[in-house]
Structure 1
Amino acid sequence: MKKLLLSSIAFVFLLTSCGSKTKGELVGVQGKKWYPEKPYGMELIPRGSFIMGKSEEDQAKVLNAPTKTVTVRSFYMDDTEITNSEYRQFVEWVKDSITRTKLAILADELGIGPEEGGIGDFVFKDADTTKASVYDKYMLDNYSGMGETGFEGRALNKDENLIWDVSEYPDEYYTEVMDSLYIPEEESYNGQRTIDVTKLKYKYSWMDIEAAARSSRKENKSRKDFIRHEELEIYPDTTVWIRDFEYSYNEPMHNDYFWHDAYSEYPVVGISWKQAQAFCNWRTKHKNDDQKSKGKQFVNKFRLPTEAEWEYAARGGIEGGTYPWGGPYVISDTGCFMANFKPQRGDYAADQALYTVEAKSYEPNDFNLYNMAGNVSEWTNSSYDPNSYEYVSTMNPNGGDGSNERKVIRGGSWKDVAYFLQVSTRDYEYADSARSYVGFRTVQDYMGEEDSTR
């Protein structure tokens, strides 16, 4: 019997060995084949080195950009500034999510289900939170912008279309929820119902990798000590058109610029650095929700470019150029201005634009990026320190400092003189400030090309 047992074990081992695909060799863990796609609306900026800083005369004598040869890795960058239309997609998503959350909570509290119709059509789809994955709970817990509700981890019903027409509200409970989203009647005028934008908040979490990496083991900190939680209003500050310019009539821009279809393809402004960061988080989540639904691997995060990445991309591969098109002139050989800025004293319209222009205006640089000079200045991920060029690394340099609220902006804007359009000129704004002349564009780290043979 013992011999028979040993023979059986040997036979099974033999079969297992013969059937092995690795034949005992070290072949590594076989994961899914990775076929990254080029992100929509982005251009691949190939890795390379360049001389960062003021290689030409420092006319302003600020002495904050001494030349330094640095190298950056490959990355994707939006070919235009983020537009009003694109940012409105973020705002609409937040509004939709908050509305559905409020409807679902009230329906749950009232014990109304889909069989009763009305607000019951928007009841939570998954009442059993134990069925939600860690990813599901993370996504559900972090978008409501309503603080702690006690309903975290409950899946919203997104199959039903929201009803915004007052005359079509299905019941009084639905009306109650919708009315809570609008400003009070006594604050309305001209019969207009306006959403209370202060209620449009986005909540998310992120991990401070740099702080964690620099933390001493003696501090005995756990992973949770480096997880940061953010919650902020995400609607653009449209009052910037009034506050930025005293004794100037800019009321039409305040009233219409962000929401009207006439300005859909214009760069969004009135966005703080913190709001731009929130947009990057949402864009990553929005894409990965789709990846998850298709069973695909997640993409890496969208983010703001570092100061070095921005300058490298703006140069478009032209070494030593003054402007994205090379330079040193801002007028083409046909006599046309090359960007949207303030070309002459008080003459904002000499370049065929008064305020901003559409994001795809003028000629792109050699990396096919539009308006890297002029139109709107752009937020970067880097903190501003006049001496940062002296100490940042020569490999993927970044003057990141969480305690420094001054953030670098680059590229100059429609209200700036030509000096600020130069690819090496540095400027800054505070992270919580918003301006009528500051926007942003996003980047994503490069992880390989899509397989063209598929």
Structure 2
Amino acid sequence: MDMKKFILLTAVLAILTSCGSKDRGELVGVKGKKWHPEKPYGMELIPGGAFIMGKADDDLAGVQDAPSKTVTVRAFYMDATEITNSEYRQFVNWVRDSIVRMKLAVLADEVGKVPEDGGIGEYAFKDADTANMSVYEKYMFENYTGLGPTGYEGRKLNKDVDLIFDTAEYPDEYYTEVMDTMYLPLEESYNGQRTWDVKKFKFQFSYMDIQEAARNRGISRKDAIKKEEIEVYPDTTVWIRDFAYSYNEPMHNDYFWHDAYSDYPVVGVTWKQAKAFCEWRTINKNSYQKSKKGAAMVNTFRLPSEAEWEYAARGGLQAATYPWGGPYTKSDRGCFMANFKPVRGDYAADQALYTVEAKSYEPNDYNLYNMAGNVSEWVNASYDPSAYEYTSTINPSVNDANNQRKIVRGGSWKDVAYFLQVSSRDYEYADSARSYIGFRTVQDYMGTQVTKNGK
């Protein structure tokens, strides 16, 4: 009798469930929210397609590291310009401010100060008890420290109160103590000015090495997660070290910080710093997305692959020598088309001595500026002279973690025309910074329907 009742109840529930279902029992799939792609600020959509990668003309330099081959890349967004000093300063200031806020909050907690006490208490942690916070909440809280393990992970920083940088307005001795740790010691200062201890500006982040995880199925997830700590401040001494017997002190002193150069491309950053910037940009955007209820997280910002960079630089022109076509570096009016060294010893023949503003000269047909000249650009690839021989023909990418020779593309203000060619390859070591190397970022496009040369 009990079994009959159970079977009857099961049948009734099945009927009720079927009647109340909108899919009428059919296989209709799971429907999510309608997707509306958002074009990232300052970026251009590069439609996916096929192109001839490598040297279309004779390799006059005889390097023979870029034989032509047809490859296809998917659609992506790319920065219209190189990352500027102003944009990179946003990253540096974010790291600096986050470290300062964390130090203030920790000291306020140690001395028992709360917002009602004023002074350093105003910078105390917003939350008093993390016991009821989920693991996800602790992970996602904006409490980046840059200090390594502190024991305060998961505590919410108070970002509603502005930081004070004028020494005359420091609110109390505790605040002064924290700020003092961020500057160089007095004995290392001169002209009555103390400067930031830039070695304290460290960005910590983690990422998953998907390539390693996919190829090594026995690896645990946590072993595929890599952690990095990078000093973020550009190496301004490159303006001195890159040029022996040359007076470039003004560029060393002013180029990164002075507002006169805000719209100029950042230089003096290593490949690793460029990668760190990409991680920060993703965190910064997703932090804003989280503040908007229901907003989707964005795709990761990253450095372009070598194929993506060349495809974008060509601007849809097949077998062209330069982003504007070519084969000449001058327009029909006799004006140079990019910022480079056109004559031996004459850096100013193109109306520029060093770098120029990031939005200078005419953009290519994808509306990208300075894909040739101004500064060379880091890409997410390791240099192998024979790479084109064995890479895939769809989204080719070669980035060997053990190969520290990383590709730079596009040529710079101090290079001759050969390096401005869209097919020319060059490299620098990942931990090296130069006065002529910068970068720009890309972001994956969601979907595949945007193609340049497909039907």
TM-score, normalising length: structure 2? 0.95
What does residue 47 of structure 2 align with? Answer: 46
Q: Indicate if the aligned counterparts of 1:35 and 1:449 stay in contact, CA closer than 8 A.
A: no
Q: Indicate if the aligned counterparts of 1:273 and 1:432 stay in contact, CA closer than 8 A.
A: yes
What does residue 94 of structure 1 align with? Answer: 95
Distance in 1 separating the partners of 2:434 and 2:140: 31
Alpha-carbon displacement from aligned partner over 1:194-218 (angstroms, at most 9, x marks no partner): 1111100000000110011111x4x
What does residue 437 of structure 2 align with? Answer: 438
What does residue 338 of structure 2 align with? Answer: 339
1:129 partner SS: coil
Distance in 2 separating the partners of 1:364 and 1:133: 49
Question: How many Å apart are 1:130 and its aligned residue?
Answer: 3.8
Question: How many Å apart are 1:127 and its aligned residue?
Answer: 3.1
Alpha-carbon displacement from aligned partner over 1:376-431 (angstroms, at most 9, x marks no partner): 00000010001101111011001111110000000000000000000000000000
What does residue 453 of structure 2 align with? Answer: none
Q: 1:4 to 1:58 in 2, by over 3 A?
A: closer
Question: How many Å apart are 1:4 and its aligned residue?
Answer: 9.7
Distance in 2 separating the partners of 1:223 and 1:340: 46
Q: 1:129 to 1:73 in 2, by over 3 A?
A: same
Distance in 2 separating the partners of 1:5 and 1:205: 53
Task: Determine whether 1:363 maps to 2:362.
Answer: yes
Q: 1:251 to 1:7 in 2, by over 3 A?
A: same
What does residue 229 of structure 1 align with? Answer: 227
Q: Indicate if the aligned counterparts of 1:182 and 1:193 stay in contact, CA closer than 8 A.
A: yes
Q: 1:132 to 1:363 in 2, by over 3 A?
A: farther
Distance in 1 separating the partners of 2:316 and 2:287: 35
Structure 2: unaligned runs, 5 residues or longer = 450-455
What does residue 166 of structure 1 align with? Answer: 167
Question: How many Å apart are 1:17 and its aligned residue?
Answer: 2.6
Question: How many Å apart are 1:151 and its aligned residue?
Answer: 1.0
Distance in 2 separating the partners of 1:229 and 1:141: 18
Alpha-carbon displacement from aligned partner over 1:34-70 (angstroms, at most 9, x marks no partner): 2120011000111111111111110110111111111
Distance in 1 separating the partners of 2:438 and 2:180: 32
For this pair of structures, how many residues does the alignment match?
447
Distance in 1 separating the partners of 2:405 and 2:227: 21
Distance in 2 separating the partners of 1:136 and 1:241: 44
What does residue 382 of structure 1 align with? Answer: 381
One-letter code of the match for 1:443?
V
Q: 1:194 to 1:395 in 2, by over 3 A?
A: same
Q: 1:188 to 1:139 in 2, by over 3 A?
A: farther
Distance in 2 separating the partners of 1:141 and 1:85: 23
What does residue 273 of structure 2 align with? Answer: 275
2:308 partner SS: helix
1:291 partner SS: helix
One-letter code of the match for 1:428?
Y
One-letter code of the match for 2:35?
W
One-letter code of the match for 1:163?
I
Distance in 1 separating the partners of 2:133 and 2:360: 46
Distance in 2 separating the partners of 1:336 and 1:112: 64
Q: Indicate if the aligned counterparts of 2:74 and 2:448 stay in contact, CA closer than 8 A.
A: no
Q: Indicate if the aligned counterparts of 1:141 and 1:152 stay in contact, CA closer than 8 A.
A: no
Q: Indicate if the aligned counterparts of 2:408 and 2:428 stay in contact, CA closer than 8 A.
A: yes
Distance in 2 separating the partners of 1:140 and 1:269: 32
Question: How many Å apart are 1:234 and its aligned residue?
Answer: 0.3
Q: Indicate if the aligned counterparts of 2:412 and 2:437 stay in contact, CA closer than 8 A.
A: yes
Distance in 2 separating the partners of 1:273 and 1:177: 31
Q: 1:130 to 1:281 in 2, by over 3 A?
A: farther
Question: How many Å apart are 1:112 and its aligned residue?
Answer: 1.0
Question: How many Å apart are 1:31 and its aligned residue?
Answer: 2.0
Deviates more, 1:135-144 or 1:393-402: 135-144
Q: Indicate if the aligned counterparts of 1:36 and 1:449 stay in contact, CA closer than 8 A.
A: no
Q: 1:342 to 1:142 in 2, by over 3 A?
A: farther
Q: Counterparts in 2 of 1:128-139, with a 5 A limit?
A: 128-139=129-140
What does residue 248 of structure 1 align with? Answer: 246
Deviates more, 1:349-358 or 1:179-188: 179-188
Q: Indicate if the aligned counterparts of 2:52 and 2:71 stay in contact, CA closer than 8 A.
A: yes
Q: 1:4 to 1:380 in 2, by over 3 A?
A: closer
Question: How many Å apart are 1:345 and its aligned residue?
Answer: 0.6
Question: How many Å apart are 1:135 and its aligned residue?
Answer: 4.5
1:230 partner SS: strand
Question: How many Å apart are 1:18 and its aligned residue?
Answer: 2.4
Alpha-carbon displacement from aligned partner over 1:6-53 (angstroms, at most 9, x marks no partner): 888766654433221111111212222221200110001111111111
Task: Determine whether 1:326 maps to 2:337.
Answer: no
Q: 1:259 to 1:318 in 2, by over 3 A?
A: same
Distance in 1 separating the partners of 2:52 and 2:84: 30
What does residue 77 of structure 2 align with? Answer: 76
Q: Indicate if the aligned counterparts of 1:314 and 1:423 stay in contact, CA closer than 8 A.
A: yes
One-letter code of the match for 2:259?
D
Task: Determine whether 1:186 maps to 2:184.
Answer: no
Q: Indicate if the aligned counterparts of 2:275 and 2:302 stay in contact, CA closer than 8 A.
A: yes
2:413 partner SS: coil
One-letter code of the match for 2:167?
V
Distance in 1 separating the partners of 2:190 and 2:350: 38
One-letter code of the match for 1:235?
Y
Q: Indicate if the aligned counterparts of 1:238 and 1:270 stay in contact, CA closer than 8 A.
A: yes
Distance in 1 separating the partners of 2:45 and 2:276: 23
Distance in 2 separating the partners of 1:50 and 1:77: 17
Distance in 1 separating the partners of 2:395 and 2:87: 28
Question: How many Å apart are 1:144 and its aligned residue?
Answer: 1.5
Q: Counterparts in 2 of 1:204-223, with a 5 A limit?
A: 204-215=205-216, 217=217, 220-223=218-221
Q: Indicate if the aligned counterparts of 2:143 and 2:154 stay in contact, CA closer than 8 A.
A: no
Question: How many Å apart are 1:168 and its aligned residue?
Answer: 1.0
Distance in 2 separating the partners of 1:87 and 1:416: 24
Deviates more, 1:124-133 or 1:89-98: 124-133
One-letter code of the match for 1:51?
I
Q: 1:132 to 1:95 in 2, by over 3 A?
A: farther
Q: Counterparts in 2 of 1:93-132, with a 5 A limit?
A: 93-132=94-133
What does residue 309 of structure 1 align with? Answer: 308
Question: How many Å apart are 1:99 and its aligned residue?
Answer: 0.4
Q: Indicate if the aligned counterparts of 2:340 and 2:415 stay in contact, CA closer than 8 A.
A: yes
One-letter code of the match for 1:293?
S
Deviates more, 1:287-296 or 1:344-353: 287-296
Q: Indicate if the aligned counterparts of 1:379 and 1:409 stay in contact, CA closer than 8 A.
A: yes
What does residue 347 of structure 2 align with? Answer: 348
Distance in 2 separating the partners of 1:287 and 1:87: 15
Distance in 2 separating the partners of 1:395 and 1:161: 49
